[in-house]
Amino acid sequence: MSSPELVTVTVDDREVQVPKGTGLVETALAAGIEIPVFCYEPRLGAPVGACRMCLVEIEGMPKLQAGCTLTAQDGMVVRTAQTSAMAAEGQNATLEFILVNHPLDCPVCDKGGECPLQDLTFRYGPGRTRMTFSKLTTEKPIPISPHIALDRERCILCYRCTRFSEDVAEDGELVAVNRGARTEIATFEDEPYRDRFSGNVIELCPVGALTSTEYRFEARPWEIQNVPTICGLCPVGCNIGVTTREGKVKRIISRNHPEVDQGWLCDKGRFAFPALRAKDRIVDPLRRVRRRGLGPVSWDEAIDEAERLLREAGSGVVVVLSGSETNELAYGLAKLAAALGGSVVLPEPDVAPLGRPLSDLAGAASVVVDDEVPLEESAPIAALWAKQAGGEGEIALRVPRTPNGVGVAEAVARAGAGSASNSLQLASGPALLLVSGDEAASDPAVREMAENAQAVVAISMFQGLVLGWADLVLPGTSYLERDGSMTNMEGRVQRVRRAVIPPSPDELAWLAKLAARLDVELSPYASVVYEELFGEPFADLGEAAPLRAAAPEGAMTGVRPRTGPTGTRLVRYRPLFSGPAVERVEKFSFQRPIDEAGLSREDAERIGVRDGHPVRLRTNGTSAELRARIRRGLDAGVVLVAEGTAENLKPGPVEVTRA
């Protein structure tokens, strides 16, 4: 590619050079000048020029122009409100018109203090109101989903949310209805906005029209702290900001990493944090009392007990990892196992990183995934990148099944632990099974292993998962409560920061103690462990981590679309909205695909069903009635049924009929 031609543009008497075609808003910014905007958001596609906030004067053009719709041309002379009375008048007019129907309820608005409209009114707006008539009023706020409230009076019709829905998420659920002054944002028949990316519209909204129901009235911007960290719920590793107040997580927002997430989050990443406060959260160590029950014990007792179990088991210890550990925790556990001569079960032994930025998917002609399950279930933001594909070449992709499968594998290897690569080898029964994390704890295969183990130690956040089969339970923590690093599906090592203090010491803290008892050297500080693990300074892990060059070349060649049976076949999958955290947040229930059969359009048409209609599925002599859910982009023949739904049905050939 030849480097783009540079052009010289003058903005408010300042000359600046930018590549030809750069947007005027960005061009002005390069000259240190702000062109205020509302509707403009380059991530949503071509500019629409709707709000008229960005009016500027261009030499040689008689009328004001919407700066957001123009691109830099050589010799262009631009005047913003700073130096053009006409542009200043235009911006002032736009703000006056916006405020004509905008309620002045800033004191009770969640956006207050971080509201572009409030800020721009302060800077460019009319000082007093000339509008003495009644404003448009609507019922407010109305929930457009359990996660999101819509206040139509505050809406300034910038169409960011609807453009997101149509052009980015491509869900087509959130639309503008009616015309003119009666235009409003709506869903079909007031049904909840169900798409897995819905929460992004909250952040896109430049006013307080779309707000988070979880965050409503929870905090004012000047009382909060935003901690930059990484989402630990899937292998994408989106960059997030965690808003906390008085030691509690109040919301999660994106922190645009242009190569990883483009500033989008899925709803799981955004809305799952209330699980931190789940009723069955384990805050004290628990030990088995009587046959099935668990009772709290002190930390001293717990460490003693753990030490005893480990010493007894010796090389018979088997550590099962979830793949949600930080690199440092996985390293610590593996180091301990190695010192004892035990082994480690990796969540995915054959995992490989993509080795290139996810943003490359947008530049590919096509993205091949070796799975019939849609990408949006396993790596949702990768699916958004793949939707943009329209360039050249093909990129093959195999998605790790766990959030830090890549990092855990590397950490274990570097710790020199022997891996029990196959759970079948363990059928004979280990002396001590150490189960790390909720995903492992809820895995039926792990439960089976536990049946055969002589003793079981589990690290878990939630009681429900460990009740009845662990001898000793040590409280687990969430990625929001940990320090360290995680490695995403690209192979990018990213910094995880503790946003809130966990209700009990984090794993690395007590693991270090336990290690000391066994004469294994392990620091309780993630920074020290990181340096031991990677041989690089922890401080070098910046806020927006680069991709390490060392990623194995061509790791993904050989990935091919799965060519299995071609008939109509039932495919089991783990939905995005599943897992221990999701299950503990009631608000997710409307998004969970329980009792649903995902069908391609072709199959729905052949069977004669529409979205939501009942269908009957028959396999191996049994049957179940589910609701049809038509899924765009699904291969014909694939019938998707979530794990946990109609478990009598077996994967493989299936007959689907109208019920």
Partner 1 sequence: MPVEYHVLAGAEDRDLTQLDDYRAVGGFESLAKARSMEPAEIVDELLASNIRGRGGAGFPMGKKASFLAKGTGKPTYLVVNADESEPGTFKDREIMFRAPHRLIEGCLITAHGIESKNVFIYIRGEYLHEFEVLRAALDQVRKAKLLDGVTVVLHRGAGAYICGEETALLESLEGKRGQPRTKPPFPAVQGLYASPSLINNVETIATVPAIIAMGGAEYAKLGVENSTGTRLFSLSGNVVNGGNYELPLGTPLRELIYDIGGGIPDGRELKAVIPGGSSVPVLTAAQVDTPLDFDSMAAQKTMLGSGAVIVIDDRCCMVQLGLRVAQFYMHESCGKCTPCREGTRWMVQILEKIEDGRGEHEELDLLLSVCDRILGKCLCPLGDAAAMPVASYVDRFRDEFRRHVDEGACPFPDSPLDHVLAPVDQHAHEVHVVP
Partner 2 sequence: MIDRIREIAKQYPDSRSAVMPALRLAQEERGRLDREAFEEVAFALDLTPAYCTGVASFYDMFHLEPVGTQLVEVCTNISCALVGAQEVLEAFESELGIRAGETSEDGRFTLRTVECAGGCGWATVVAVNHRYREPVHAEDVPAIVEELRDAG
Residues that bind partner 2 (CB under 8 A): 166, 171-179, 186-189, 601, 605, 610-611, 632
Tell me if 90 contacts partner 1 by CB under 8 A: yes
Which one, 140 or 572, has the nearer CB to partner 1?
A: 140
Smallest gap from Cβ 185 to partner 1, in A, equals: 11
- Residue whose CB is less far from partner 2, 144 or 433: 144
Which of residues 37 and 541 has its CB atom nearest to ligand FES in the complex?
Answer: 37
The window from 41-49, 228-236, 279-287, 429-437 that contacts partner 1 (CB under 8 A) reads 41-49
Cα(141)–Cα(151) distance, rounded to whole angstroms?
4
Per CB under 6 A, does 116 bind ligand FES?
A: no
Q: Which of residues 397-426 bind ligand FES (CB under 6 A)?
A: none
337 forms part of the interface with partner 1 (CB under 8 A): no
207 binds ligand FES (CB under 6 A): no
- How far is Cα 201 from Cα 113, in angstroms, rounded to an integer? 19
Dump strand ranges (E) for 68-178.
Answer: 77-79, 142-143, 148-150, 175-177
**Min separation Cβ 194 and partner 1, Å:** 22
Q: Quick check: 87 binds ligand FES (CB under 6 A)?
A: no
Comparing CB distances to ligand FES, the nearer of 38 and 530 is 38
CB of 364 to partner 1, least distance (A): 22
At its nearest, how many Å lie between partner 1 and the CB of residue 180? 4
- Dihedral of the alpha carbons of 602, 397, 233, 237, in degrees to the nearest 10: -130
Residue 361 near residue 386, CB atoms below 8 Å: yes
CB 322 within 8 A of CB 438: yes
Residue labelled with tokens 């939630």: 462
DSSP per residue, 32-63: T-----SS--GGGSS----S-TTEEEETT-SS
- Rounded Cα distance between 99 and 77, Å, is 30
- With H, G, I as helix, E, B as strand and everything else as coil, classify residue 289: strand
Neighbours of 560 (CB within 10 A): 10
**CB 55 → partner 1: shortest distance, Å?**
6
617 is a contact residue toward partner 1 (CB under 8 A): no
| Residues 6+ positions from 204 with CB-CB distance below 8 Å | 41, 44, 160, 161, 164, 210
Note whether 373 binds ligand FES by CB under 6 A.
no
Q: What DSSP element (H or E) covers 95?
A: helix 85-100
Q: Which of 181, 283, 509, 636 binds partner 1 (CB under 8 A)?
A: 181
Q: Which of 30, 176, 520, 594 binds partner 1 (CB under 8 A)?
A: 176
Of 50 and 230, CB closest to partner 1:
50
Q: Draw the binding track, 16-55, toward ligand FES (x: CB under 6 A; -: no contact).
A: ---------------------xxxx--------xxxxxx-
State which of residues 1, 63, 290, 557 lies at the interface with partner 1 (CB under 8 A). 63
Task: Pick between residue 50 and residue 361 the one whose CB is nearest to partner 1.
Answer: 50
Size of the residue set binding partner 1 (CB under 8 A): 39
Binding to ligand FES by CB under 6 A, coded x per residue (else -) over 56-75, reads: ----------x-x-------
Rg of the chain on CA atoms, in Å: 27
Distances (CA, A) of 465 to 134, 366, 393, 443: 56, 40, 45, 10
**In the numeric block, which tokens belong to residue 152?**
């139509």
Our CA dihedral for 208, 212, 214, 220, rounded to 10 degrees, sits at -30
Residue bearing tokens 């109208």:
658
**Residue 51 Cβ, how far from ligand FES at the closest point, in Å?**
3
Asked if 3 touches partner 1 (CB under 8 A), the answer is no
Q: Exposed e or buried b for every residue in 15-45, given b needs 16+ CB within 10 A?
A: ebebeeebbbbebbbbbebebbbbbbbebbe
Asked if residue 441 binds ligand FES (CB under 6 A), the reply is no
How many residues lie near ligand FES (CB under 6 A)? 12
Distance CA 193, CA 178 (A): 19
Rounded-to-integer distance, Cα 594 and Cα 599, Å = 14
Which one, 139 or 553, has the nearer CB to partner 2? 139
The correct pick among 157, 234, 456, 571 for binding partner 1 (CB under 8 A) is 157
| Whether the Cβ atoms of residue 188 and residue 173 lie closer than 8 Å to each other | yes
In the bound state with partner 1, the residue whose beta carbon lies nearer, of 63 and 279, is 63
Q: How far is CA 608 from CA 79, 598, 640, in A?
A: 59, 14, 17
Contact range with partner 1 by CB under 8 A, out of 46-54, 351-359, 364-372, 560-568: 46-54
In the complex, minimum distance from the CB of residue 187 to partner 1, in angstroms, rounded to a whole number = 16
Least CB distance to partner 1 at residue 178 (A): 7
Of partner 2, partner 1, ligand FES, none, which one does residue 40 interact with (CB within 5 to 8 Å by kind)?
A: ligand FES
Q: How far is the CB of 160 from partner 1 (least distance, A)?
A: 13
Q: How many CB atoms lie within 10 A of CB 283?
A: 11
What residues does 456 pair with on adjacent strands? Answer: 433
Which residues would be at the binding site for partner 1 (CB under 8 A)? 47-53, 55, 63-64, 66, 69, 89-90, 93-94, 96-98, 100-101, 130-134, 136-138, 156-157, 159, 176, 178-183
Residues of the shown chain interacting with ligand FES in the complex, contacts defined by CB under 6 A: 37-40, 49-54, 66, 68
